[in-house]
Structure 1
Amino acid sequence: MDFDPSKFPTGLCEQMEPLVARVLAGNPSPYTYTGTQTYVVGNGSDRAVIDPGPAIDAHIDAIVAAVGDAKIRAIMCTHTHRDHSPAAAPLSERTGAPIIGCAPLVLADDGPRADESFDKYYKPDRVLADGETISGDGWTIEAVATPGHTSNHLCLAVQESGAMFTGDHVMAWS
C-alpha cells in the first residue's frame, strides 16, 4: 500500500454531517485501503449502525463508544463480504440490536469459485426489500437493491440528508 496508516486513525468517531458519523476499522489492506468504514446514523435517542465491519474487538468497542448513551435501533449491512458484516453478530449480542439489511448470500451451485471473502455466518433478523425503510429518532433509511458487487448487495439512503451508503459499489481509491 502506498499510504501512511498513521494519517488514518482507527477507532475515532468522525462527524461527517449532522446525521452521520464514521468509525474506521483497523483492517487496512489492498481490498479495504485504509480500513472498513462503519457509519453511525442519527443524533437523537437511537442510531443505526451501517456496515459494522470485521469482528475486531477494538472496532466493536469504538462503535459502542460512538453511539454513546443512545440505543442502537438497527445494525445494517450492505453486503456480506468479511470486511463489512462479521461484527454484526457480536455487536448485536452486546447491545441487543437487531441485524437488518441485506439477505444472506446464497450461491446457486457447487461449481468452482472463491467463497473465502464472504461471511457465511451472517444471519439477519430482517431482510430489507428494495424501497423498504426503517426509521428512528429523526432519521429514515431506505433500502435500494443494487446487486452487482455481490448478488445480495443493498445501498442504504438516509432520506433526511440525501446521504447514500454504497457498500463497495463506489470506492474512490480503486
Structure 2
Amino acid sequence: MAIPYVREIEFEYGIVEQVSPLIRRVIANNPGPFTYVGTGVYIIGHGEVAVIDPGPEDAEHFEALKRALEGETVTHVLVTHGHSDHSPLATPLAQWAGCKTYAKNCGV
C-alpha cells in the first residue's frame, strides 16, 4: 500500500494560516530536498500559545513569526529535533517572547 502524499499546497511565505481550530502555520522560505516547500512552524492555541519548531534563523522569517504572534503570549517554544531547518530560531524567539525553550537532546 502506497502512502498518499499530498504534494499540492497553497501558501505564501511568511503568512500565518489557520490549519485547524487551534493550529496555525507559518512556512519559512527555505525550500529544499528535506524541507519540501519550506519548514512548517506551528502555533498552537489562542491567547496563550506554544510555537513548535520555529525554523531557521532568518530575519524575514523571524519578522513573519513576530507578526503572526502579535497579541499572543508565547508560553513555550518547543523543538522536536535539532535539525538546522527546525531549531535555530528557538532561542531568539524564546528570548523575544520571554519564555523557555523545551527540547530534548537538540543542542538548543
Common topology (TM > 0.5): yes
> How many residues are aligned here?
100
Query: Partner residue of 1:47?
Result: 49
Residue 37 of structure 1 and its aligned partner are, at CA, apart by: 0.2
Structure 2 CA distance for aligned equivalents of residues 12 and 74 of structure 1: 21
Structure 1 CA distance for aligned equivalents of residues 60 and 40 of structure 2: 14
Query: Partner residue of 1:77?
Result: 79
User: Percent sequence identity over matched residues?
Assistant: 39
Give the unaligned 5+ runs of structure 1. Answer: 105-121, 124-174
Whose relative contact order is higher, 1 or 2, with alpha carbons under 8 Å and at least 6 apart?
2
Query: Partner residue of 1:165?
Result: none
Output one character per residue of 1:24-56: Cα deviation in whole Å (capped at 9) or x when no partner: 00100111110000000001x210000000001
Please tell me the root mean square deviation across aligned C-alpha atoms, in Å.
1.5
Residue 101 of structure 1 and its aligned partner are, at CA, apart by: 2.8
Report the secondary structure of 1:69's partner residue: coil
Query: Partner residue of 2:91?
Result: 89
Structure 2 CA distance for aligned equivalents of residues 102 and 78 of structure 1: 8
Taking structure 2 as the reference length, the TM-score comes to 0.85
Structure 1 CA distance for aligned equivalents of residues 75 and 11 of structure 2: 28
Query: Partner residue of 2:21?
Result: 18
What letter is aligned with 1:39?
Y
Which 4+ runs in 1 deviate beyond 2 A? 101-104
Taking structure 1 as the reference length, the TM-score comes to 0.54
Structure with greater helix share of residues: 2
Query: Partner residue of 2:62?
Result: 60
Residue 102 of structure 1 and its aligned partner are, at CA, apart by: 2.4
